[in-house]
Amino acid sequence: MLQRLSVGLLLTISAVCTASQANATYPERPIVLISPYQAGGTTETFARLITDDVAQILGQPIVIEPKPGAAGTIGARTVATSKPDGYTLLANTSQQVMYDGMYNHLPFNAVDDFRPIGVLGSAPIIVVTGKDSPFKTFKDVLETGKNKNVTFASGAQGSLPHLTGERVALQEKLNMTHVPFSGTAPALTNVIGGHVDLLYSTAASVMPQIRAGTLRALAVSTKERMAELPDVPTIAENGLKEFDVTAWYGVWAPKNTPSEIIEEINAAMRKASSTEAAHKRMKALSVSPSDMTAKEFEVFAENERRTWLDVMKKANMQPVN
């Protein structure tokens, strides 16, 4: 009996030591960061703000791999079914925690099949229109929406920019129709071309076009005006009291990824986000850095999930499939 116990104890110690050694040497090869939208979209933009610095801290390259389709669920499924070893991660918008309100049947559990790692950054949402649009102010949009339909685009069904538009329509009882795109890039093209009236998007994706004059900024979603756009009023200033929304982008790992790996990536993200070089890149795109721990991000994401699933319900957004 004693011999069997000794052998069992040795095997257990050996397994623990092997796991510890594996975690201690992480990462030993390049890390793949799945962006579940079209190349060049907002999610990729946010990821690229710090991934090179994170890679340098971790000592291995991070390869951003676009895998678009089905409002980001194809890329999310790829990560959910990947080996939980820290080498396949997901960069996604806040809609990662809102999929339950979008679909009746998902090929994964949006909460239980993932582990939150950290936040890439956050930014105001800007309401923009094409330079030749008849809408000169956000009040023009509100007045028009009371009597006729106004179309608005976003980079994905169920994304925070989309839900911000739905919340405006709900609060003001407007006639507005959402036109979803697979990524911000095609949405931009359609709004600039006049095929869709408005675009709700993070500042990072539209500031270059605003500066170039191809887009007109009508309002920002945060409670305070943006320093970069001091003449553009907030949505709250247009009569929607206490309106305050900030878009955020995060990174997740498959469930069962060891906590040591989660913490190591999170620490690298926070360190990368704190550098002067990163702050300079972020400021150019009106992005704010994050210093949330993995646990803080988990709590924050759950609060966001509850808030926006309630908006979906009130907007009568019916889950599909």
Q: What does the pLDDT look like over 49-105, one tens digit per residue?
A: 999 999 999 999 999 999 998 888 999 999 999 999 999 999 998 989 999 998 989
Nearest-10 Cα torsion for 124, 125, 131, 133: -150
User: What is the rounded CA–CA span in Å between residue 130 and residue 209?
Assistant: 10
User: What is the rounded CA–CA span in Å between residue 188 and residue 195?
Assistant: 10
- Whether residue 15 is predicted with pLDDT greater than 60 in this model: the reply is no
Q: Taking all residues of the chain, what is their mean pLDDT, rounded to a whole number?
A: 91
The answer to whether the CB of 157 falls within 8 A of the CB of 166 is: no
**What percent of the chain is helix, strand and coil (3-state, nearest 5)?**
45, 20, 35
- The dihedral region occupied by 286, where left means phi > 0, alpha psi between -120 and 50, and beta the remainder, is left
Confidence of residue 182 (pLDDT cuts 50, 70, 90): confident
Model pLDDT, residue 319: 86
- Whether residue 274 is predicted with pLDDT greater than 60 in this model: the reply is yes
Nearest-10 Cα torsion for 50, 289, 271, 80: -60
Model pLDDT, residue 22: 46
User: What is the rounded CA–CA span in Å between residue 148 and residue 217?
Assistant: 21
- Whether residue 5 is predicted with pLDDT greater than 50 in this model: the reply is no
Full set of structural domains in the chain with CATH: 31-122+246-315 (3.40.190.150), 124-238 (3.40.190.10)
User: What is the rounded CA–CA span in Å between residue 318 and residue 321?
Assistant: 10
- Whether residue 2 is predicted with pLDDT greater than 50 in this model: the reply is no
Confidence of residue 24 (pLDDT cuts 50, 70, 90): low
Model pLDDT, residue 28: 97
pTM of the model: 0.80
DSSP structure class, residue 104: S
Each residue of 261-280: b (16+ CB within 10 Å) or e?
bbbbbbbbbbebbeeeebee
The residue among 218 and 19 whose pLDDT is bigger is: 218
Instruction: Kindly list the distances between the CA atom of residue 194 and the CA atoms of 110, 138, 204, 272, in Å, as whole numbers in the listed order.
Output: 35, 17, 21, 39
